[in-house]
Amino acid sequence: MKTSIELEKSAALQIATLMVAAARTAPKTRGIDNIKTAAINDEPTRQKLVAKMREIAAKENRPGIARDAGNIENSPAVVIIGVEANPAGMNCGFCGKPSCEVLEEARGICAFNSIDLGIATASAAEVAGRFHVDNRIMYSIGRACLDLGLFGPKVKQALGVPLSVTGKNPFFDRQA
């Protein structure tokens, strides 16, 4: 017999797998797949993430990131989604720069990459919602994952989606 806690953790991990699939197959603005995904489901990696988030919160006086770290401690899985920097080469100016070359010199990020990250993350979060698994998109998780180098040097933006299978969604009605 499995306990409720074991089954709920298993459900969160199954949904994380489906979320990664949704992020991968999400529409891309230019048809180029720059999306990178992972799921944190082990205690050592989760603790590294929590520690990094608390470090950022203390160093930059961002109490919201420390609050988010507390949420992560109780999440059986955290899906992280990143996007590799890849200028469009279209000189469209959508990023606010006159050309892709100027954007690269400024070490900026192509607007299409940001859009693709948003579409992929929203697709993943929708999957969790469809299966009634509580979740919340958090920039703070992505920031810490980038600082930890979990995606390598080409990924310049990331977001995280912690999961919870509990009686009340822990990611809302939070104190700042």
Question: Given this model, what pLDDT does residue 96 score?
Answer: 92
Residue 17: pLDDT over 90: yes
CA-CA distance, 161 to 137, in Å (whole number)?
5
pLDDT of residue 74: 86
What confidence tier does 174 reach under pLDDT thresholds 50, 70, 90? low
Average pLDDT, the chain: 94
Q: Look-up: residue for tokens 């993350």?
A: 121
pLDDT tops 70 at residue 105? yes
> Is 61's pLDDT higher than 90?
yes
Residue 109's nearest CA partner among 93, 92, 86, 126 is 86
Percentage of the chain exceeding pLDDT 90: 83
Residue 75's alpha-carbon distances to 40, 68, 133, 142, 169, in angstroms, are: 10, 11, 11, 15, 11
Length of the chain: 176
Which tens digits make up the pLDDT trace of 72-103?
998 999 999 999 988 878 899 989 999 999 99
pLDDT at 89: 84
Between CA 46 and CA 53 the distance in angstroms is 11
Which domains can be identified in the chain, with CATH numbers?
A: 4-164 (3.40.109.10)
Type of residue numbered 154: K
pTM of the predicted model as reported, rounded to 2 decimal places: 0.93
Q: Is the predicted pLDDT of residue 42 greater than 80, yes or no?
A: yes
The backbone region for 88, taken as left when phi is positive above 0, alpha when psi lies in -120 to 50, beta otherwise, is alpha
Count CB atoms within 10 A of the CB of residue 80. 28
Q: Helix 63-73 crosses helix 43-60 at what angle (to 10 degrees)? A: 170
What are the backbone angles phi and psi of residue 160, rounded to the nearest 5°? -125, 150
